[in-house]
Structure 1
Amino acid sequence: MIENKERRGLSGARNSGVALSTGEVVAFIDEDAAADNAWVENLLSSYQYPQVIGVGGEVRPEWTVPPPGWFPEEFHWVVGCSYKGLPEVKAPVRNPIGCNMSFRRQALISAGGFRNGVGRIGTLPVGCEETELTIRLRQQNPNSVYLYQPRAVVMHKVPEWRLKWRYFIQRCYSEGISKALVTHYVGSTDGLSSERRYVIYTLPKGIFSGLLEAITRRRLSGFKRAAAIIVGLMITTTGYLAGMFKRLRSKYLSAWVRQKATSHARES
C-alpha cells in the first residue's frame, strides 16, 4: 500500500505506483480481482517483440450470483470484464481492459503516464484512462503495438448490485461521457475506432442472436438481451452526446469570456 502522490483519482494512484516501480514492465490488476497462476508468464512472453508497448489479458467474471437472463455478453464491459467481440486469440487491440493490463515502464514514463482528469474518481463509474493512454502511446509511436493475450487470465468479482438495471444504465451513460472526454484529447478517428466496429458488427449480431433465440426456442431471455443491447447503445450514445455538448459549451463560454475581456481592455 502506497500513498497517492498525485491528483486524487485512479489515474493519479496508478501514476504513483509507476513512479515507485523498478521493473521493465508494469502490470495492473484491480483490488477485487485474482490473477491466474500463469498470468505474469503469459503477459511477459509477448514482450520479446520490441514494437510491443503493452500486453493485456482476458478478464473473466466471477459472479457472486448468477447473472440475469437479460444481461448480454456484449456488455460485460459494464462490469469490467472481457466482452463478446474481443479477439479469441492473441491479437493487436486498440486498448486493454484496466483490470488486466501491462505496459513497458519506459513507455509509460515517456508519455507522462495516465492523464489526470480521465478515469474514475471516487465512486463515479467513469473510466477510459487506459484507453486514452494507449491511444496516446500509439500516436506518439505509430509502429508500436498493444497486444491482447487471452491466455493471461484474471478473475474479476462481480457483486450482485452491478447486475441491476440501474447500474447498467448508469455505467453505460458514464461510458459515453468518458468516451467524449477521450475523443477530446486524442481525436474521434482514433478515439472511436473500436466503437465503430463494435456498433456496426458486434451489437447487430448480438441483437439478431437474441431475437433468433426468442423466436426459435421461445425464450423470453433472448428478447430481453436484444432489448438490453439496444437500450445500452442508446444510453451510451446519450452520454457521449452529453459529454460532447458539455465540452463545446465550456469551449464557447471560455471564448466568449476572453472576447469580452479583450474588448474591455481595449476600451480602457
Structure 2
Amino acid sequence: MRYRLLPGVRIEESPSGLFLTAERPYRVLRINQRLAELARRGRETAVEAVGPGEGKIWETLVTQGLARREEEETAAEMTLRPRVSVVIPVLDRAEDLRKCLESLQQLDYPQECLEIIVVDDGSRDASPQVALEFGARLVPSGGSGRGPAAARNRGVAVATGEILAFIDSDCTASPEWLNELLPSFAEPDVAAVGGWVDGMNSRRALDRYERVMSSLNLGGRERNGKDGNDTFYLPSCNLLVRRTAFAIVEGFREDLHVGEDVDLTWRLRDCAYRIIYLPRGRVCHNHRSRLWPFMKRRFDYGTSEGILQSLHPQRRKKMLLPPGLCVALLLLMIGLATLKPAVLGACGAVLLLDGLATHAKLRRRGLRQGWMAVFKARLRAFSSLAYYLGYHLLRYYLLPIILLGIALPQAGLVFLLLGLWVLGVDYRLRRPELSPPGFALFYLLEQLSYGCGVFVGCWRQKNFASYVFEF
C-alpha cells in the first residue's frame, strides 16, 4: 500500500514541536519526529509503508483527511487472486437479475477465481430460470419472503470463496468492482470493504435525486471505522466481507428486514475488525423512481433506528459543539426571530472573539498562522455547525417544526431560514440535475418520511435513545 500527503498539507516547525496543517478543512495535528520524516517522504511522491507501524501512522493521516492511499498492484497481487463468492438475493426481479448477471460476466477478474450464487427467496417470476441461464449456482432460501438477510446467509452457507461479495439483484457492477476493493484486504484487521453506489437511471426526476442523495451512497471521501461507538456502517448492496470474519459474527441477523447491513458491520467493529469505505468499486442501483415507494422506503429505513439502538445501545450519533460557535449560532437565531440589530451584532462580536481566541491559541503553540486565514476557518466551522444542526433538526423533527412554525410564525421564520441553508448547501455540494424547487420537494419528503419512521420504530421498541446525541 502506498500513501502520499494531500495537496495543501504542510509541515510546520515551532519551538513547541512539529505540526501538520491544512487549510480546507482547517486542521492542525501535532506530530513527532518519526511522523514528520514519513510526511516529508510522502509530500512529493507516493511512498510505501514499511511494516505495520508505518502503515498505522499513514492510516491515521488518511482518517484525519491529511493523506490518501494510492494502491498499486504488484506482480504477485496480479497472479494471486483470492477466490470470491458473489452472493445475490432475489425475489421477483427477473429482469433486474438479468442485468446484474450480465454485468458480472464483464468483471475484470479471473473466472476461475469467481463463484456466482443466486439465492431465490420464493420468486413467482422467471428469476430462477434467469440464474440458471447465466450459469449461476441457484440456491433456495428455504422459504418465501424470508428477507435478504436470511437469503444472504443461505448463500454464504454454500459459498467456497475466502471473500464474500454481496450485491443486490437490482444492481449492476462495474468491470473494476472487485479489483478496486479487494486490495484493502491486504491489511489483516480489515473485515469488510464497501464501495461507491451510483444511480442506474436518470430519466425521471426522482432518479436524478437518488443518484446524489441516496443513503446508499456514502460520498466521495474515504472512511474507515474500527474502535469507537460512532454509527459508521457499510450498505450491503456493495459489500465485500472476509469469510472468516463473517463466520465469527455469525452472519446477518435474519430477523432484521431493514438495517441488517448496519447491524452486521457494527458487530464486525465490536470484534475489533476494521471496515473501510472507498469511493470506487462502483455499483449502480436501480432506485425507486416513484414517489410513494420512495417515501415508504425512507420510512422503513427510519424504523430500523429504534431496533438498532436496542441491539447496540452503546452506539451514539456524535456532534461537535464548540462553545463559542454555539453561542454565536444561538444569538443569530434569536436575532433573526426578533429582528433586533443588537442581538445580530452580538453574534458578530462572539464570532470575532472566537477567531481571536483560536488565533491566540495557535500562536501560543508557536504556529504563525495568519489572522485572516484562522478567522475564515472559524467562519467555515460556524457554517458547518449551522448545516449539521439544521440537517439533524430536519431529519428527526421536521413535522414538529412545521407545527411549531404554524403556531409561532417568528420561530417558523428561523427554522425556514435554517432549512434553506441546509438545502442550499446540499444542492451546491451534490449538484443534482434538478431545479432547486424540485430538489427541495424531494428533500423535504425524504426527511419527513424518515423522521416519521424513526418515531414509529422508537415507539415500537419503547426506546427513544435514537434522539440522543453524544457531544
Normalization by structure 1: what TM-score? Answer: 0.72
1:232 aligns with 2:446: yes
1:149 aligns with 2:363: no
Q: Is this contact kept in 2: 1:15–1:114, CA < 8 A?
A: yes
Deviations 1:130-178 (A, max 9, x none): 111111111222xx221112220112234xxx22221222112111112
Deviations 1:5-44 (A, max 9, x none): 4892111110111111222210001112221111111121
Looking at structure 2, the residues matched to 202 and 54 of structure 1 have their Cα atoms a distance apart, in angstroms, of 32
Looking at structure 2, the residues matched to 149 and 118 of structure 1 have their Cα atoms a distance apart, in angstroms, of 26
Question: Equivalent residue for 1:134?
Answer: 265
1:169 aligns with 2:301: no
Deviations 1:177-223 (A, max 9, x none): 12221112112624x459xx9x82794665124788xxxxxx99313
1:207 aligns with 2:333: no
Q: List runs of 5+ in structure 1 lacking aligned partners.
A: 120-126, 213-218, 250-268
1:45 aligns with 2:174: no
Kindly state the Cα deviation for residue 66 of structure 1 after the two structures are TM-superposed: 3.3
Q: Point out which structure has higher relative CO (alpha carbons under 8 A, 6+ apart).
A: 1
| Residue pairs, 1:40-189, within 5 angstroms | 40-63=178-201, 65-68=203-206, 71=209, 75-77=213-215, 81-82=216-217, 86-92=218-224, 94-119=232-257, 127-141=258-272, 144-158=273-287, 162-187=288-313, 189=315
Looking at structure 2, the residues matched to 54 and 202 of structure 1 have their Cα atoms a distance apart, in angstroms, of 32
Looking at structure 2, the residues matched to 181 and 211 of structure 1 have their Cα atoms a distance apart, in angstroms, of 31
Kindly state the Cα deviation for residue 74 of structure 1 after the two structures are TM-superposed: 5.6
Going from structure 1 to structure 2, the CA distance change for 1:72 and 1:47 (only over 3 Å counts) comes to closer
Going from structure 1 to structure 2, the CA distance change for 1:220 and 1:103 (only over 3 Å counts) comes to closer
Normalization by structure 2: what TM-score? Answer: 0.43
Q: Larger Rg: 1 or 2?
A: 2
Q: List runs of 5+ in structure 2 lacking aligned partners.
A: 1-137, 226-231, 320-383, 392-418, 464-471
The percent identity for this pair of structures is: 26
Looking at structure 2, the residues matched to 42 and 232 of structure 1 have their Cα atoms a distance apart, in angstroms, of 32
Kindly state the Cα deviation for residue 55 of structure 1 after the two structures are TM-superposed: 0.4
> For residue 156 of structure 1, what is the amino acid of its counterpart?
H
Going from structure 1 to structure 2, the CA distance change for 1:152 and 1:211 (only over 3 Å counts) comes to closer
Among 136, 149, 152, which residue is 1:14 paired with? 152
> For residue 145 of structure 1, what is the amino acid of its counterpart?
R
Looking at structure 1, the residues matched to 246 and 166 of structure 2 have their Cα atoms a distance apart, in angstroms, of 13
Going from structure 1 to structure 2, the CA distance change for 1:34 and 1:140 (only over 3 Å counts) comes to same
